[in-house]
A and B are shown apart, each in its own frame.
Chain A
Amino acid sequence: MTDLITSEPAAMPADWTVRSPHRIKRARAETRFRLYGIVAIGIAVAFLASMLLTIFIGGAGAFTTSKIGLDVTFNEQVIDPSGARDPASFRGVNYRPLITGALAEVFPDVEGRQDTRALYKLISTGAVYQLENMVTENPDIIGTTQRVWVSAGTDTNLYLAGKIDPDMPQELRQLTERETGWIETLKSAGHVKTDINTSFFTNGDSREPEQAGILGALMGSFFSLIVCFVIAFPLGVLTAVYLEEFARKNRLTDFIEVNINNLAAVPSIVFGLLGLAIFLNVFNLPRSTPLVGGMVLALMTLPTIIIASRAALRAVPPSVREAAYGLGASKVQTTFHHTVPLAMPGMLTGTIIGMAQALGETAPLLMIGMVAFIVDVPTSVVDTATSLPVQIFLWADNPEIGFREMTSAAIIVLLIFLVLMNLLAVILRKKLERRW
């Protein structure tokens, strides 16, 4: 002890104002390392920004759509020749003459089958269903003339959004000179307006970009996640509680633990194959349904939930358990009255993150037939359905140019849901977490 003290004064106290070569070198290394860090972050941020930017620029167009205003005369002769006003008879009527009639009012000089056909193509093929719905909802409009805003056709939409280059030679464009002329005429006469694309949020899939919507995929994802949660959450939490609180430490539990950790790293397509082999081929569950999709996703998220829940349980200080034992609580009482509630925020956070991962999964759904063209919006877990990422995959593969912005728009919707789920996880953690 004394040695140390006596030897100290021998060395001169370091003079921190002198910049020795060694210290300059050290300071430079420090600055350099900070620079590396900033550059690394900068590159990552630039990638993220450029990705988001392309998606948002590409997808923004899909949220608005062009509508064409037609003065449709709801001709009684066409809709209800008998005059009985039977709502059932309004379905299945060919409403096309009403639209061609309204178009003929604007373009009286267009005649002949080929030309009227070309003119009709400016309007979406879904317009007839819009008229059908109007008549069914309100039969009183029969016999009147109304300004109806119908969706523009696929190519009209592209042209009005500026996606068709008017300088390109005619034969290479989707629309001829004459057809763009018609659109310009409609535009100058005030028959064109830009509107929010509500059908994007209310329709199922379609082969026409202007009629295709995300709702079917959204509901499919929703039902799959419900099934996934209902299976994976109780199973995961119970497994974690048993392994952490009740199980003895021995070879068997070690083996199980290693396996759970390994399962978390298994590629998701493997779970899809498992689902195909077991749920579809052995249990004969219905193909292409959110029920099976949710079960497969549950297998995939289970390890994530178990690992997160065990970590949350481990974070509860032993003093809480000991205090409960000291007051005479049994093991089950201690666990379910004290430990699990305290660990619940961590468990929920882990679950939500696992579910967000499941929301973005496509590969396992490939194997169980959820990658399909499905128009009807599912209403239960046993209806056939797709999911959000699958819809993106399918739209990206469609030949029509209009689907490109639909793809980006669907990605935006998926990203919004992912951000919301992760935000929920963060808020739950911040609000409910206790620190010791």
Chain B
Amino acid sequence: MTKSLMLSGAMILSAAFTMTACSGGDAPAQSTKADTKPEATSGGRDQIKIVGSSTVYPFSTAVAEAFGKTSKFKTPIVESTGSGGGLKLFCSGVGERHPDITNASRRIKTSEVELCAQNGVTEIVETKVGYDGIVFANSRKAPQLNVTLQQIFLALAKDVPDGKGGLKPNPYTRWNEIDAGLPNDRIEVMGPPPTSGTRDAFVELAMEGGCKTFPSIAALKSSDKNTYKAVCHSMREDEAFVESGENDNLIVQKLNANPKAYGIFGYSFLDQNSGQVQGATINDVAPTFENIADNSYPVARSLYFYTKKAHVGVIPGLQDFLAEFLGNRASGPDGYLADKGLIPMPQAEHEAVEAATLALTPLKMK
């Protein structure tokens, strides 16, 4: 009796499952088609889409959230794709399927502007968000490091000058082999992978900055640009430099566990975790808010976002979002983005950027 009951129960249950599965299978499929079709033709997306750099992501999301809460528009969605990936998506075309804004932790490249133009994205509005410093940090349990750009280059480059005008593979394994004043520890640095904008900026500012202090290499810049770039932009690939993914938080935690290691990441992570990690002074300048803002810290870069002009007025709220982002409340000197670790532009520059963006002045590459 119980067995047959159970069996019939199983049958009813399974029948119910298959029935709901079948009927349910049709219903959503049809309704979604009905929902998306008119959208695709009339351009009816009512939500701003933002993609791009993981460094700008914390700031972009903060503005998106405030915008969603204080305006009548939906909260924009922000995807973290990396600067390069974001620009690729951004440049893929005009229309509601393509993002409206892309964040970048470096400036757009000429090749990317060309790609955009090929796909009909001709008018791009460039907006500087503010500044970010790249810090070379270690755990607070160890003493603070004081290095020069040249020492950073010697520690992390693939090839270093051999003193006879040529190059040799990087021989250094300990910091004090580079300079007796540096600690007697193994060189162990964690940093972002090549897809990251932070890595691009670090290579360009710190590595190249240290590289060109050698007259023999600096001379290459005018004579053989490709070799110059290859020498200055190549990071070593042995265990002294470890690519630790895009997750800066993870680097902070690893530094905590290993006081002898160093990490490369954005200033906002140092700012939020100042109780656990400290930034090395580079060329005798400490990575502080003031030093990055007045450009005396050598490894500082600008952060940008790019807006598709063709989408303004089509996607509801895009213009208002720009106004929110550039308002004093957000990116101004006392704005909430400064609380999130952004280094705001000086008042005059901020006003100029705000005016240019709100007037939708298109970007011109020099």
Among A174, A374, A397, point to the contact of B77 (Cβ < 8 A).
A374
CB distance from B33 to the nearest CB of A (A): 9
Q: How far is the CA of A160 from the CA of B69 in the complex (A)?
A: 27
| B80 beta carbon closer than 8 Å to chain A | yes
User: Given A168-B275, A344-B13, is A376 in contact with B75 using a C-beta cutoff of 8 Å?
Assistant: yes
Among B18, B32, B54, B268, point to the contact of A237 (Cβ < 8 A).
B18
Q: Which residues of A contact B7 (CB under 8 A)?
A: 341-342, 434
**CB-based contact A399/B32 at 8 Å:** no
**CB-based contact A233/B21 at 8 Å:** yes
- Over the window 337-353 of chain A, the binary record of Cβ atoms lying under 8 Å from chain B Cβ atoms (1 yes, 0 no) is 00011101101100000
Q: How far is the CA of A288 from the CA of B79 in the complex (A)?
A: 9
**CB-based contact A398/B21 at 8 Å:** no
CB-contacts of B269-285 with A (<8 A): 269, 271-275
Residue of A nearest to B266 (CB): A399
**CB-based contact A172/B268 at 8 Å:** no
**CB-based contact A291/B13 at 8 Å:** no
**CB-based contact B249/A398 at 8 Å:** yes
Residue of A nearest to B18 (CB): A234
| A284 beta carbon closer than 8 Å to chain B | yes
Q: How far is the CA of A129 from the CA of B69 in the complex (A)?
A: 9
**CB-based contact B36/A286 at 8 Å:** yes
**CB-based contact A229/B80 at 8 Å:** no
**CB-based contact B36/A341 at 8 Å:** no
CB-contacts of B235-271 with A (<8 A): 246-250, 268-269, 271
Query: Which of B22, B32, B49, B97 has its CB near the most chain A CB atoms (within 10 A)?
Result: B32
CB distance from B157 to the nearest CB of A (A): 29
**CB-based contact A371/B79 at 8 Å:** yes
CB-contacts of A378-406 with B (<8 A): 381-382, 384, 394, 396-401, 404
User: Given A341-B7, A397-B247, A399-B269, is A382 in contact with B36 using a C-beta cutoff of 8 Å?
Assistant: yes
Question: What are the nearest 5 A-B pairs in CB distance?
Answer: A344-B14, A375-B75, A373-B78, A399-B272, A372-B79
| A247 beta carbon closer than 8 Å to chain B | no
| A431 beta carbon closer than 8 Å to chain B | yes
CB distance from A339 to the nearest CB of B (A): 12
Which of the 9-residue segments B55-63, B172-180, B296-304 touches chain A? B55-63
**CB-based contact B80/A431 at 8 Å:** no
Q: How far is the CA of A292 from the CA of B96 in the complex (A)?
A: 17
CB distance from A301 to the nearest CB of B (A): 13
Q: How far is the CA of A230 from the CA of B19 in the complex (A)?
A: 10
Q: Which residues of A contact B69 (CB under 8 A)?
A: 129
| B161 beta carbon closer than 8 Å to chain A | no
| B24 beta carbon closer than 8 Å to chain A | yes
CB distance from B174 to the nearest CB of A (A): 29
CB-contacts of B18-74 with A (<8 A): 18, 21-22, 24-25, 28, 32, 35-36, 39-40, 47, 49, 54, 57-58, 60-62, 64-65, 68-70, 74
Residues on B facing A (Cβ under 8 Å): 3, 6-7, 9-11, 13-15, 17-18, 21-22, 24-25, 28, 32, 35-36, 39-40, 47, 49, 54, 57-58, 60-62, 64-65, 68-70, 74-75, 77-80, 97, 140, 246-250, 268-269, 271-275, 340-341
**CB-based contact A291/B32 at 8 Å:** yes
Residue of B nearest to A432 (CB): B10
**CB-based contact A344/B11 at 8 Å:** yes
**CB-based contact A234/B10 at 8 Å:** no
| A165 beta carbon closer than 8 Å to chain B | yes
Q: How far is the CA of A234 from the CA of B25 in the complex (A)?
A: 9
**CB-based contact B248/A397 at 8 Å:** yes
Among B6, B25, B77, B247, point to the contact of A431 (Cβ < 8 A).
B6
| A263 beta carbon closer than 8 Å to chain B | no
Q: Which residues of B contact A344 (CB under 8 A)?
A: 10-11, 13-14, 17
Q: Which residues of B contact A400 (CB under 8 A)?
A: 272
Q: How far is the CA of A287 from the CA of B49 in the complex (A)?
A: 10
Q: How far is the CA of A285 from the CA of B32 in the complex (A)?
A: 9
**CB-based contact B11/A373 at 8 Å:** no
CB distance from B340 to the nearest CB of A (A): 7
5 A-B pairs with C-beta separation under 8 A: A372-B80, A376-B75, A384-B47, A399-B272, A399-B273
CB-contacts of A139-154 with B (<8 A): none
Q: How far is the CA of A215 from the CA of B36 in the complex (A)?
A: 25
Q: Which residues of A contact B274 (CB under 8 A)?
A: 172-173
Q: How far is the CA of A226 from the CA of B15 in the complex (A)?
A: 17
CB-contacts of A285-338 with B (<8 A): 285-288, 291
Q: Which residues of B contact A229 (CB under 8 A)?
A: 21
Q: Which residues of A contact B250 (CB under 8 A)?
A: 396
Q: How far is the CA of A172 from the CA of B270 in the complex (A)?
A: 10
Q: How far is the CA of A384 from the CA of B45 in the complex (A)?
A: 11
Among A287, A345, A375, A396, point to the contact of B97 (Cβ < 8 A).
A287
Residue of B nearest to A169 (CB): B275
CB distance from A244 to the nearest CB of B (A): 16
CB-contacts of A102-151 with B (<8 A): 129
**CB-based contact A401/B272 at 8 Å:** yes
Q: Which residues of B contact A360 (CB under 8 A)?
A: none
Residue of B nearest to A407 (CB): B249
**CB-based contact A399/B249 at 8 Å:** yes
- Over the window 210-254 of chain A, the binary record of Cβ atoms lying under 8 Å from chain B Cβ atoms (1 yes, 0 no) is 000000000000000011011101100100000000000000000
Q: How far is the CA of A206 from the CA of B340 in the complex (A)?
A: 13
**CB-based contact A207/B22 at 8 Å:** no
Q: Which residues of A contact B22 (CB under 8 A)?
A: 234
**CB-based contact A374/B75 at 8 Å:** yes
Q: Which residues of A contact B79 (CB under 8 A)?
A: 288, 369, 371-373
CB distance from A89 to the nearest CB of B (A): 14
Q: How far is the CA of A400 from the CA of B248 in the complex (A)?
A: 11
| A190 beta carbon closer than 8 Å to chain B | no
Q: How far is the CA of A397 from the CA of B268 in the complex (A)?
A: 12
User: Given A129-B69, A206-B65, A207-B340, is A288 in contact with B21 using a C-beta cutoff of 8 Å?
Assistant: no
Q: Which residues of A contact B24 (CB under 8 A)?
A: 226, 230
7 further A-B pairs in the complex, CB-CB below 8 A; given A344-B13, A397-B246: A230-B21, A234-B21, A341-B14, A344-B17, A373-B79, A398-B58, A398-B249
User: Given A233-B21, A291-B32, is A373 in contact with B248 using a C-beta cutoff of 8 Å?
Assistant: no
**CB-based contact A396/B17 at 8 Å:** no
Among A174, A207, A342, point to the contact of B65 (Cβ < 8 A).
A207
| A81 beta carbon closer than 8 Å to chain B | no
CB distance from A368 to the nearest CB of B (A): 10
| A92 beta carbon closer than 8 Å to chain B | yes
CB distance from A340 to the nearest CB of B (A): 7
Q: Which residues of B contact A129 (CB under 8 A)?
A: 69
Q: How far is the CA of A285 from the CA of B68 in the complex (A)?
A: 25
Query: Which of A286, A348, A372 has its CB near the most chain B CB atoms (within 10 A)?
Result: A372
Among A165, A285, A396, point to the contact of B247 (Cβ < 8 A).
A396
Among A92, A231, A345, A373, point to the contact of B64 (Cβ < 8 A).
A373
Residue of A nearest to B39 (CB): A286
CB distance from A226 to the nearest CB of B (A): 8
Q: Which residues of A contact B97 (CB under 8 A)?
A: 284, 287
User: Given A129-B69, A234-B18, is A376 in contact with B249 using a C-beta cutoff of 8 Å?
Assistant: no
